[in-house]
Structure 1
Amino acid sequence: MAGRSISLSELKAQADRLYWLETRPQEGGRTTLVSMKRGETPEDLLPSTVGVGTRVHEYGGGAYDVSSCQRVVFSDRKSGAVQLRENDGTLVSLASSTDCAYADFSFDATGTGVFCVREDHRSGGEPRAAIVWLDRERECVLVEGDDFYAAPRPAPGNGHLAWISWNHPDMPWDATQLTVAPLTWEDFRPRTGASRILAGEASRCSSVDPVWESADTLLVSLDTPGAWHPCRFTVTGEAGPEFLPDPEGETGFPHWVFGQSSLRVLPDGRILAQIVRDGLSHTALLAGRHWQICPQIETAQAPVLFGDALAWITAAPDAPPAVVIGKNSRIIRQAFDFPEGITSEDCAHPEPFAYPSTGGAIAHALYYAPVNRHRTLGPTEKPPLVVMAHGGPTGRASSAFSFKVQWWTSRGFAVLDVNYRGSTGFGRRYREALNGEWGVTDVEDCVAGVHHAVAHGLADPARCVIRGSSAGGLTVLMALATSDVFAAGCSLYGVTDLRALAEETHKFESRYLDRLIGPYPEQEALYLERSPLTHVARITAPLLFLHGDLDKVVPLDQAKAMHHALQELGRASALHVYEGESHGFRQEQTLRDSFTRELAFYQQVFGQNQV
């Protein structure tokens, strides 16, 4: 399926057109912009030589926007240049600077210029952040001074500008400031007046996903109640936030990438929200004083209004992602087709899984039983178990269709996708439970999940393996070093040396470890203790390392050092490097090879153990 699947993201609507991004492994992982006019078929809007993307914060997102008159602004992934696509298809360069990267675009009300976040690499050292305004002739710096900015959103009518900012050592889910400033315009150029902090000045809190409800009211998800909940600010008054009715879950997403949307305002004033309950995402509509779940809408981002119907990208566990419209979910574009003989009946469904962990804590996971209509386990056989540790570590296991889940369940494996303490979707207290405990609490929750699954007859205790990418790779390695429940493990571009990570990683995460581990270098001894590289001698289970040679988030040297140390001890360790891949795999051949290589690795381990 690797060469036949595309990924769909960042759905937008303007007038009679839908827009979305498609990432295509068969085109070397290029991301292009696709549009569909009502009543017509989808079409690519950009030449095949152009890839949409941005390297701001390395993880990108928010690399395009569409104006009310259907002009498109986007960032070119390779060059970082910002371009404007006119309605006739002409591409025009906006006044962006070289050695800078841009993201999180929002057109002004006239559609002639855009507000965005700029990351300036011209001076060396850490790049400097600012909110700027671009048109064909000028680049105007509007806001600067903080370490990070996100979500510059002009109010309807261009009367105000709202944005989010934060500073080292905080991450955006630790503490941000939500700020608004009046806008004035001279010679078609915006200027910001005296700004006012709406949230985050008097107390530490996190604001995410701001969206204007009107020219004077702003909606945002704010976590002062203990979890991200939607609230309303009136920017022309002094009153504090007015929280909307309790969604009985968490709205908002951790700001790893730009362009996320958990709240949407409909023309009639009703509000849509994405709500996470028990690890599962739901779309809900606020009607009166109650949130009503929309069961027919399975998506991970808030739907958009397209004419008199809603449109969204589906995120069902048993169907390909697709751009759909309306109550009947009419498919406009589908990420792939199932192979012949495969249907939704062959797909595993997630079961929310809460279980006891260390210290009296309750941890969470999604459990998938193996599913294959053509082959079954023996009558008394328990399935082998793949435990997955998500990245971040401030992230969440998603219930949407995933090849990395279905690949295993269709081959007779059960999957336990762990939302260890530190994951989002369960409130601030759960999220902060990993502070100072990375490499300990997450590992304990993965191990406890195995014990719970085995105790309930859901897995074969002799055939449990663990895999994880990025931060999840560290969890994999520490789990193998501190427990004996896993027969093998796979680290995909995972962290092995925390000291090197603290010294080498990019600006966005350069102080992330201050919360997860402690200040560096003051607590260097603790960094050594939590680094898998320190505990090589304790790892006896076979290990597979998969890494890209262009990874700037977790450099390849991290995997090489761990692999070579294991080899020197005579341990079973394999390392495979993928050329042209960075942090996360995009290319068709890489996707094909990495899955088949990992499966063969586990099969060899199980065969050697005569299981």
Structure 2
Amino acid sequence: MVQTAPYGTWTSPITPETVATSSIVFDDVLVDPITSVVYHIEERPDEDGRSVIVNTAEGRDVTPSGFNAADAVNEYGGAAAVVYGGIAYFSNLTDGRVYSVKDEEGSEPSPVSPEDPNQQYRYANFAVHPVQTNLIASILEYHPDENPQNVVTTLCVIDTATATRTGLVEGADFYAAPVFNPSGTKIAWQEWYQPDMPFEGGLVYVADVSIEDGAIVLSNTTYVAGEKLEISAGYPLWISDTALLYTSDYTPGSSLRFQNPFIYSTDTGSSRAALATPIAQDFAEPAWYFGLYPYALLGDGSYGAFTAFQDGRNILYVLDLTKSSDPVQIVDFPFVVAQHLKQEGPDATTFVFTASLNNQPGGVLQCSLGAAPSFVPTYVYLKSSSAQPVDDSYISIPQPLTLYNDGDPNPIYAILYLPKNPDFEGPTGEKPPCITGVHGGPTSMSTQAMDLKKLYFTSRGFAWLDVNYRGSSGYGRDYIELLAGNWGILDNQDCENAVTMVDEQQGLVDSNRAAVRGGSAGGFTTLCSTTTASNNTYYKAATSAYGGISDLKLLAEKTEKFELQYMYKLLGGSPDEIPDVYTARSPYYNVLDSSGQPQMTIPLLMLQGKEDPIVPEEQAIIFLAKIKVEAPDEKLSYHFYDGEGHGWKQASTIEDALKREHRWYLENLLL
């Protein structure tokens, strides 16, 4: 029998333990181009958060206990491994070295990069030379001292036969995506320079490759696409020895600024649009991590499978690459998020990818496409992302919303999850309390993928509203750039306005019982909601997780090189150029109002990793100390986690953080 009980008080079988251990996070999918065997990298929260390379078909670990197949290049990492000829090469996060391991039961990894006793070098994004297979191109990140802003990034070559390293390309601030053509006679890569991020001014280059005395030598380095500050090009992949596929947010003759695919010919030295007509959809996401390839070749490269963003989710196209053509959309593509697309071996007409659904677990998928013109797909689960199923009756289906403020032509995009539990209903006339989710980045986006953490709350009678505020990705470059100079303002305004509109226009949530929570850049927005926001009493509770940016000036001194000058764009300049802005938007300097009275009245929960290199724990420590002095009556709770960085990896942390957050809302929302 269905019970009537106040929203937020319901009981649910989705426990913190369920959230921590029943959903597998996949870091990458790998395909051996020689054997066509598929592998994936999965995170293991119950093994201290280490990442493991797994032979997907056999379900067998390739990397044994004690090894962590992950990297921290640009601090965010990604693309930590490659498999070639039955051997996996991977970056080991534990000591920073690159190892090789045979895909055989009981095989032990061996180091193939030079010794690094001081752990000054990091590697990622590997490409095996297809002829001289002992030579692997890699991103190399050198840390000369403890200041993360002094890192030097280059492209290098690792000789796995001698465990030595030589330089390949240098001079840019950052590099990504080195890829050889099929014969190994050419290489392509992406590079970019401060103050750009890869999705703002990424440049693609190609060069000729020769092997001299067993080493790779480059010549005829040639610019392909991209422009500093203005145009982003990225995700290069060779279709053939002379044709290079990539994406760019600029199409000549068009005012649209969306990532669309292009093809560069080394024979003609020019590019052409792969699409007959530009499409107002992003065919690639911002490269916060390495290896997030949004497309895969099919067959001999005459066709390609491409993901794109439409209405806040991924859709799938098939595109004829032999000419500029109109793409064929795959009907009823069920996966709201699709990443890490890889062709399943040379000339394969199938591809593999990581995928998420909005109503069931996703996983590692294989897609086979039928014949033209409809390309009817067949999907096979190679590995599910769920260790145990969740009853459908507890799954709240996301409702994407497009919201408009009066007089503002730019919409706010949001995703609403309503309470759902087969055993309970709310009292007549009561609206559910609302948890407002703020994504990180801030140039990122909240997806519609099923998330057990959100279901934990919705199955207990809370509503959850994710807000893709102005500046979020997935809606074109013009929308991203709305946040430039406005970080800490528009994100706060849009989150508050979204909750209000969903309440006043649709009556679906109780805006008088709303909480705000976020991690990374979302943690900054959360702290601003309690201090610098124009209406800093809007929410009734706040939770900042692994991203409690409180002092922007201090962050500019201590954060990593990758995002340092990106922050300048978001705020409108450097601390030296606009010191007043850094003060005005820093929660640390705004615990008191202009009259010297405490203005923090929102109960605040702060959760922080002690080893966070992106938002150091010092940000939380100084903010908490200042609150205790200047606003001693402020309701506070906080916890610092050993061994955790920028995001929770360990099962014990995931469980504890969720329990603390839940208690916080019970204490402060259910009034």
TM over 0.5: yes
CA-CA distance at 1:81 after TM superposition? 0.4
| In structure 1, distance between residues paired with 2:625 and 2:108 | 52
Q: 1:176 to 1:304 in 2, by over 3 A?
A: closer
| Deviation for aligned residue 1:297 | 5.0
Question: Is contact 1:272-1:302 (8 Å) kept?
Answer: no
Q: Which residue does the alignment assign to 2:61?
A: 44
What's the counterpart of residue 257 of structure 1? 289
Alignment of 1:335-350 (within 5 A): 335-338=385-388, 342-350=390-398
User: For 1:238 and 1:329, how far apart are their aligned partners in 2?
Assistant: 38
CA distance in 1, matches of 2:495, 2:115: 46
The residue matched to 1:457 in structure 2 has which SS?
coil
Please, which moves more after superposition, 560-569 or 432-441? 560-569
Contact 1:247 1:291 (C-alpha < 8 Å) held by counterparts = no
User: Is 1:524–2:542 an aligned residue pair?
Assistant: no
Q: After the TM superposition, which of the residue ranges 588-597 and 121-130 deviates more from structure 2?
A: 121-130
Q: Which residue of 2 aligns with 1:592?
A: 655
Partner of 2:25: 7
Runs ≥4 residues deviating over 6 A: none
CA distance in 1: counterparts of 2:552 and 2:478, whole angstroms: 24
- CA 1:374–1:598 in structure 2 vs 1: closer, same or farther (change >3 Å)? same
The answer for the alignment partner of 1:372 in structure 2 is 421
**1:153 correspondence with 2:179:** yes
| 1:462-501 alignment, distance < 5 Å | 462-481=512-531, 482=533, 483=535, 484-493=537-546, 494-501=548-555
Partner of 1:83: 99
Q: CA deviation at 1:328?
A: 5.5
Other-structure match for 1:94: 112
- Relative to structure 1, is the Cα distance of residues 202 and 55 closer, same or farther in structure 2, using a 3 angstrom cutoff? closer
Residues 1:389 and 2:411 aligned together: no
1:424 has 2:444 as partner? no
SS at match of 2:56: strand
Moved more, 6-15 or 302-311: 302-311
Q: State the Cα deviation string for residues 482-508 of structure 1 (Å, max 9, x = none).
A: 223211111112211101110001111
Once residues 131 and 337 of structure 1 are traced to their aligned partners in structure 2, the CA distance between those partners, rounded to angstroms, is 38
Aligned-residue Cα RMSD (Å) equals: 2.0
Match for 1:516: what amino acid? L
Whole-angstrom CA distance in 1 between matches of 2:522 and 2:41? 27
Change (3 A) 1:294 1:90: farther
Contact 1:560-1:575 at 8 Å conserved across structures: no
Uncovered stretches (5+) of structure 2, i.e. residues with no partner? 1-17, 251-255, 368-376, 593-598
Maintained 8 Å contact 1:275/1:282: yes
| 1:379-417 deviation per Cα after TM superposition (whole angstroms, max 9, x unaligned) | 322111111110111111111121232222111111111
Does 2:657 match 1:602? no
Structure 1 spans left out of the alignment, 5+ residues: none
CA 1:87–1:579 in 2, change beyond 3 Å: closer, same or farther? closer
Q: Give me the whole-angstrom Cα distance separating, in 1, the residues matched to 2:166 and 2:403.
A: 53
Q: Deviations over 1:422-445 (max 9, x none)?
A: 111111110011111100011111
Alignment match, 1:134: 158
Give the Cα separation in 2 of the matches to 1:254 and 1:414.
29
Structure 2: how far apart are the matches of 1:122 and 1:503?
17
Q: Where do residues 19-30 of structure 1 align in structure 2 (5 Å cutoff)?
A: 19-30=39-50
Mapping for residues 527-538 of structure 1, pairs under 5 Å = 527-537=582-592, 538=599
Q: Tell me what 1:235 maps to.
A: 266
Aligned counterpart in structure 1 of residue 399 of structure 2, from 334, 337, 351: 351
| 2:89 aligned partner | 73
Higher RCO (CA 8 Å, separation ≥ 6 residues): 2
Q: Letter of the aligned partner of 2:437 in structure 1?
A: M
Normalization by structure 2: what TM-score?
0.86
Counting aligned pairs with the same residue, the percent is 30
Q: Deviations over 1:116-167 (max 9, x none)?
A: 1000123665111111111122312110011111111111111111111111
Describe the SS at the equivalent of 2:267. coil
SS at match of 1:586: coil
Structure 1 pair 188–357 and aligned structure 2 pair: CA distance change class (3 A): farther
2:373 corresponds to: none
In structure 2, do the counterparts of structure 1 residues 604 and 354 end up closer, same or farther at CA, with 3 Å as the change threshold?
A: same
